[in-house]
A = this chain, B = another copy of it.
């Protein structure tokens, strides 16, 4: 366990999948690189049955955050050439999968909740991706229109899809 000034309290807890995300995307190549760019794509979140009761009240939300494990992400790189740029950038200034912890985050549109299955849209996630968390998208907490966006200023993800640069075999 790495140590810093304050030390870590990373104790008696583990992170484990709570479900799986079924999507049309079998490989990184051709997958939208951000949820907003995946507008025409639908997908299904299948929660493990023991967590079904945690979905109560979720259907009132138009959009949800999915946190998931990028199980096919490649090795970690501190500097990457992101899909939306030709220059190299620090990985934490990008959304590249080549980050130290292969955690993915997408704000997807929630279409319906039925038992342990969610129908969703606006998807940029590979098929079979292990789900770690679901939480409601709340504009008062999550929406900040005026944020400066550094190197991404003026770039748009709408016509960009991924290639295989960050992918490894499952």
Residues of A that sit less than 8 Å from B by CB: 1-2, 4-11, 13, 15-20, 22, 34-36, 46, 48, 51, 53-63, 65, 67, 69, 71-73, 78-79, 89-95, 99-103, 105, 107, 127-128, 130, 132-153, 156-157, 170
The residue in A36, A107, A150 that gathers the most chain B C-beta atoms within 10 A of its C-beta is: A150
Count of chain copies: 2
**Residues of B close to A19: CB separation below 8 A:** 4
Q: Which of B9, B78, B93 contacts A60 (CB 8 A)?
A: B93
**Residues of B close to A13: CB separation below 8 A:** 69, 71, 73, 102
A57–B146 contact, CB under 8 A? no
Given contacts A5-B46, A103-B15, contact A135 B92 (CB under 8 A): yes
B53–A144 contact, CB under 8 A? no
CA distance A105 to B64 in the complex (A): 13
CB distance from A85 to the nearest CB of B (A): 9
A150–B57 contact, CB under 8 A? yes
25 pairs, CB–CB < 8 Å, chain A vs chain B: A4-B19, A4-B46, A4-B48, A5-B20, A8-B130, A9-B72, A9-B170, A10-B17, A11-B170, A15-B102, A51-B92, A57-B94, A59-B150, A60-B149, A61-B147, A63-B144, A67-B103, A92-B134, A99-B133, A100-B133, A103-B132, A136-B149, A138-B152, A140-B156, A142-B142
Given contacts A8-B130, A139-B145, contact A61 B17 (CB under 8 A): no
What 9 A-B pairs are tightest by C-beta distance, nearest first? A60-B150, A56-B90, A57-B93, A62-B148, A62-B147, A54-B78, A92-B134, A58-B93, A53-B78
CA distance A93 to B61 in the complex (A): 8
